[in-house]
Chains A and B, each alone.
Chain A
Amino acid sequence: MTRRVIVVQREVQAQPREAAEDVRRRWAAEGTLVVNLLSSPGAGKTTLLEATARRMRGRATMAVLAGDPATMRDAQRLAPLVPVVQLTTVGACHLELALVERGRDALGMKPDFLFIENVGNLVCPASFDLGEHLRILVLSTTEGDDKPAKYPKAFRTSHALVVSKLDLLPHVPFSLQAAVADALNIQPELEVMALSALTGEGLDQWCRYLDRRRQALLADAAHVAGASAPGSASGGAAAR
């Protein structure tokens, strides 16, 4: 019998990359900045979203797709503040594009900002492109400053690092400098912010960052719409 080796050398994707690119372009054309929030469980994603919703009220529209392995608790917390759809993964450790798209359809609106609150996990969500424009890693001061070095892929694929629970910094052995240094070694282009959603410290900078990124997205989308060849996107705001 003849044996033959077929050389392939092609990346294997958990889901087709093109599908996420299509969704990203569509969201941009609709004027929605999509933000994928990654963190460990309990880092304060929902609390940050509550605080963000209060700040955005009256000046921008915002909605949330909240991912969890079980319960409707995050949606129940956020519902008084913003339109929210709970994405229950029934035990799965990450969100996938198809589920996010169903959530978006259920939402039935085109907000200025759409936050995807991923399942609390710094491993698997890093491998799934949800068509977001921004991937934000939320790291709380109570988790320890060793997390960037331990979970490099999540930090490498993020656009910004938000250090949360800054109000607890005096009470925990967390070196902000060490955490940020490790994160910047893995992703030197990472934008870094530190805040406390409870005291409000750092929230102005966070909201200004979001506004700036949405303006960049709108400028990019207008540029794409004006270009003669479709697909000639500069990709300036596309996810890494």
Chain B
Amino acid sequence: MHELSLARSLLDEVDAIAARHPGSHVTEVRVSVGRLSGVEPSLLACAVQRLFPERGHGRARLVVDSAELLACCERCAGQFVVRDLVLRCPVCRGGRVRILRGDALVLESVQLCGAEGPESDE
């Protein structure tokens, strides 16, 4: 049950973004849960929805997308989607494979209402 720890970290990020846009409130938080993230989406959603009101985001909704596992072969540099959990390059059969996406929980975006300021968090 590490989803609660993840939910707290997620809300810390959301709080920080909201604080950079004074006078606004959070209306939507969009995350993606990777296939190899080890995160159970419904447990995460349950934890986040419990935390929203106590963090002052009572009007926010959480959107959870799923992310496929995308990998890159370090030998032939080919990119491929891992469908059957075989993390081996389908072209050259190389075993040195880097995961590009799909092994983590990612905060994709935060929608704010009444906000001024930049549209990227960087």
B103 touches A156 (CB 8 A): yes
Question: Contacts A6-B120, A10-B121, A12-B9 hold; do A188 and B38 have CB atoms under 8 A apart?
Answer: no
**With a CB–CB cut-off of 8 A, which chain B residues contact A124?**
1-2, 38
Question: Contacts A13-B9, A14-B2, A123-B38 hold; do A8 and B110 have CB atoms under 8 A apart?
Answer: yes
**With a CB–CB cut-off of 8 A, which chain B residues contact A9?**
106-109
Cα A93 to Cα B110 with chains together (Å): 31
A12 touches B10 (CB 8 A): yes
Q: Does B45 contact A (CB under 8 A)?
A: no
A14 touches B114 (CB 8 A): no
Cα A2 to Cα B114 with chains together (Å): 5
Q: Closest 10 interchain pairs by CB?
A: A188-B95, A14-B5, A153-B38, A4-B115, A185-B86, A11-B104, A124-B2, A12-B105, A8-B121, A8-B107
Q: Does B72 contact A (CB under 8 A)?
A: no
Q: Does B55 contact A (CB under 8 A)?
A: no
Residue pairs across A and B with CB atoms within 8 Å: the count is 118
Q: Does A168 contact B (CB under 8 A)?
A: no
**With a CB–CB cut-off of 8 A, which chain A residues contact B117?**
4
Question: Contacts A6-B17, A6-B120, A123-B38 hold; do A14 and B9 have CB atoms under 8 A apart?
Answer: yes
B85 touches A149 (CB 8 A): yes
Within the complex, the shortest CB–CB distance from B64 to chain A, in Å, comes to: 12
Q: Does B13 contact A (CB under 8 A)?
A: yes
Within the complex, the shortest CB–CB distance from A151 to chain B, in Å, comes to: 9
Interface residues as binary, A1-28 with B (CB distance below 8 Å gives 1, 0 otherwise): 1111111111111110000000000000
Chain B CB within 10 Å, residue with most, of A4, A7, A149: A4
B105 touches A6 (CB 8 A): no
Cα A83 to Cα B38 with chains together (Å): 33
**With a CB–CB cut-off of 8 A, which chain B residues contact A186?**
85-87
- What's the tally of chain B residues with a CB closer than 8 Å to chain A? 42
B109 touches A5 (CB 8 A): yes
Within the complex, the shortest CB–CB distance from B60 to chain A, in Å, comes to: 13
Q: Does B112 contact A (CB under 8 A)?
A: yes
Write the chain A residue with the least CB distance to B26: A6
Within the complex, the shortest CB–CB distance from B55 to chain A, in Å, comes to: 15
B119 touches A7 (CB 8 A): yes
B107 touches A152 (CB 8 A): no
Write the chain B residue with the least CB distance to A3: B113
Interface residues as binary, A70-99 with B (CB distance below 8 Å gives 1, 0 otherwise): 000000000000000000000011101000
**With a CB–CB cut-off of 8 A, which chain A residues contact B116?**
2, 4
| Selected A-B contacts with CB under 8 Å, 5 pairs | A4-B21, A4-B116, A5-B111, A156-B103, A185-B88
A8 touches B86 (CB 8 A): no
B111 touches A1 (CB 8 A): no
